[in-house]
Amino acid sequence: MAQVSMQQVKELRDRTQAGLNDCRSALMESEGNMDAAVDIILKKGLAKSAKRAGAVAAEGEVRASVAKDGKSAVLVEVNIQTDFAARNDDFKAFVGKTLEAAEKAKDGADLGAEPFPGGSGSIEDNRQALVGKLGENITVRRWQRLSVSGPGCVHSYVHMGGKIGVLLAVKAGTDAAAKSAEFLKFVDDVAMQAAAMEPLCLTTAEVPEADKKKQAEIFDAQLADEGKPEAVRPKIIEGKLAKWMKEICLIEQQSVLETDKTVDQLRGELAKALGTDVVVEKFARFKLGEGVVKPVGEDFAAEVAKMAGN
């Protein structure tokens, strides 16, 4: 078996970013052939990646980037299995490169297929390699771009170190209004509102009929449990639905900063003060791990029973 020097191990580590033991084993297996050792490392990394592909990844980071002209922005969510690994420098660098790829990608593109910025292969190729290195499943879960044309801006707000990310697109009637301190403060305030209050839609007109029907059924069941007569329930449900839709729609929500006014009322006051239109066009909100089904372990009693051999 060929002797392996630390210099060879270091060279292979620099080329592949694999662990020292993996590099040493690959060099021994390849009898000192550096190129063959690189292939071995890559194959092992892909094998680890495939093995871990089914593991649930709900931690990670949401990150945003705004274009220099302020007219567009992108938001990405990249997941990994544990919060500890999410703080790893290599993972954070991968999130940054994924965000760079999103900045250049066309709307709706599969980010995994996009070229890896400043490196070789695709985002997916590098994701698989990082899975092999860190030993945890990683998923590039979702991304979105918002943009405005004409006077206005797209603003980003990322909360809790990447646990929640928001993009907000707001238009103004004039360039001067869009650059005013009052307009920019309003945009920032509404972005923070979207982060804090978890709106599902921008306006009540956007709430899907299926969601309204489902919520009405929930209210009906609650009223039935309370003993409300069936004849009076429709009117009560109508009022409850109206209140519910205002709570889940950003424009209709009570402002967290001025609780006696809605976001739309503040928008109207700003438009009057600036002497021009102000329109909240759209928003995007990512909450880290939202909708990911996490595995539920055994309860404490079951674990104790298993340890006791029962």
Rounded Cα distance, 124 and 128, in Å: 6
Residue in the structure block whose two tokens are 């109206």? 242
Question: CB neighbours of 246 closer than 8 A, spacing ≥ 6?
Answer: 204, 252, 253, 262
Short-list 62, 144, 140, CA closest to 103: 144
pLDDT value for 296? 54
Residue 247 banded pLDDT, cuts 50, 70, 90: very high
CA atoms lying within 13 Å on the CB side of residue 225: 6
pLDDT cut 90: percent of the chain above it:
72
The answer to whether residues 229 and 258 touch, using CB atoms and an 8 Å cutoff, is no
CA 31 to chain centre: 45
User: Which tens digit of pLDDT belongs to each residue from 89-138?
Assistant: 999 999 999 999 999 999 999 999 999 999 999 999 999 999 988 888 99
pLDDT value for 241? 96
Looking at the predicted structure, is the pLDDT value of residue 2 above 90?
no
SS3 of residue 275 by DSSP: coil
Rounded Cα distance, 99 and 145, in Å: 11
Residue 5 banded pLDDT, cuts 50, 70, 90: confident
Average pLDDT over residues 242-256: 96
Rounded Cα distance, 19 and 8, in Å: 13
Burial class of residue 256 (count of CB atoms within 10 Å of its CB; 0-12, 13-18, 19+): middle
pTM: 0.79
Short-list 243, 241, 199, CA closest to 216: 241
Sheet of strand 164-172, all strands in order from the earlier edge strand to the far edge: 152-159, 164-172, 278-287
Looking at the predicted structure, is the pLDDT value of residue 300 above 50?
no
Question: CB neighbours of 59 closer than 8 A, spacing ≥ 6?
Answer: 79, 80, 81, 82, 83, 85, 86, 288, 289
pLDDT value for 235? 95
Rounded Cα distance, 262 and 271, in Å: 14
Residue 302 banded pLDDT, cuts 50, 70, 90: low
Q: What one-character-per-residue DSSP string does 20-47 give? A: HHHHHHHHHHTTT-HHHHHHHHHHHHHH
- Angle at alpha carbon of residue 172, lines to 167 and 175, rounded to 5°: 110
User: Which tens digit of pLDDT belongs to each residue from 198-215?
Assistant: 999 999 999 999 999 999
